[in-house]
Amino acid sequence: MSFLVDNKNLIDFAMSTEISSDSPEFVKIVEAMRYSALGGKRLRGILTLEFAKMFGCSIEEAMPYAVSVECIQAYSLIHDDLPCMDDDDMRRGKPSCHIAFGEANALLAGDALLTHAFSAISESDSAKKYPERAIKAVRILSGFAGFHGMVGGQVLDLEAAEQIVDEKTLSLIHKLKTGALIKASVLIGCAAAGADNELCVLSEKYAEEFGFAFQIIDDILDFDGNYNTCELNSYVKIHGLEKAKEDALCHIKSAFDILETIEKNGFYNPNLKELLEYLVKRMN
């Protein structure tokens, strides 16, 4: 799937350009931001670009929106790794930001990436050309990234760290902590293209199914074959490995069906189907 590599490279270049400064007094904070933001699969940014493209927006005009969601993703990972949160010393095969730069600088780097996400959209040429689309995207991103979305999911996840939760609570945690930013990624792509409400509703449904499948598959990949050592609230721990695989495939099938409905409305992007096939390959 060459489009994944191509889009990742485009987003990487845009992120590197966007997160920079010529001012010597900001060298340390920019270095910490770049340390954590310049890396990863860029799946959320790719979703933004591909939905924007499907509904008629150029990659160039959609790129600030992809950068914004990747800034949110990077900040959330920095904060997740902090000692007061998940207390992880490693991220993507290298020391976490707070190990490399100190806890205070990591906290501030996350804060800076969070706030920069919105200036990436609002100060872009795309926003000057279509200000109403930029306003809509900022509203979407702030809503899904905030306490009604990703942050709310993180709070629930922390509360559940010491106890086994029921299926309903686990589903809500996944919907918010993982799924909310995936929804935001898709919907700001729709906003960048000026997609109508019906298309946005269908796209959000695709994102929800994609998000659930993505999280379940992550839990499957993390499973070491031993239910006793499995993470306490892993989907696999609660439902079993075979049921987890069945449910992931069910969510992927639903996402495929939604794309078929969008196609009947006159819009088609084969890359979005390939993304679903990519999830299946990850699981297998």
Q: Which fold has domain 2-283?
A: Farnesyl Diphosphate Synthase (1.10.600)
Task: Give the pLDDT confidence score for residue 229 in this predicted structure.
Answer: 85
Distance CA 171, CA 179 (A): 10
- Domain ranges within the chain, ordered by starting residue: 2-283
Distance CA 183, CA 149 (A): 10
Token output for 41: 């699969």
80, 88 contact by CB (below 8 A)? yes
Q: What averages of pLDDT result for each successive group of 10 residues across the chain (284 residues)? A: 94 97 94 96 97 98 98 98 96 96 98 98 97 98 97 94 89 96 98 98 98 96 89 91 97 98 97 96 90
Residue 90's DSSP bridge partners are 95
How do residues 214-270 score in pLDDT, each as one tens digit?
Answer: 999 999 999 988 888 888 889 999 999 999 999 999 999 999 999 999 999 999 999
Task: Give the pLDDT confidence score for residue 81 in this predicted structure.
Answer: 97
CA torsion 208-111-135-22 (nearest 10°) is -130
pTM here? 0.97
Task: Give the pLDDT confidence score for residue 231 in this predicted structure.
Answer: 85
What element of type H or E holds 146? none
Query: Strand, helix or coil at 91?
Result: strand
Q: What is the mean pLDDT of the chain?
A: 96
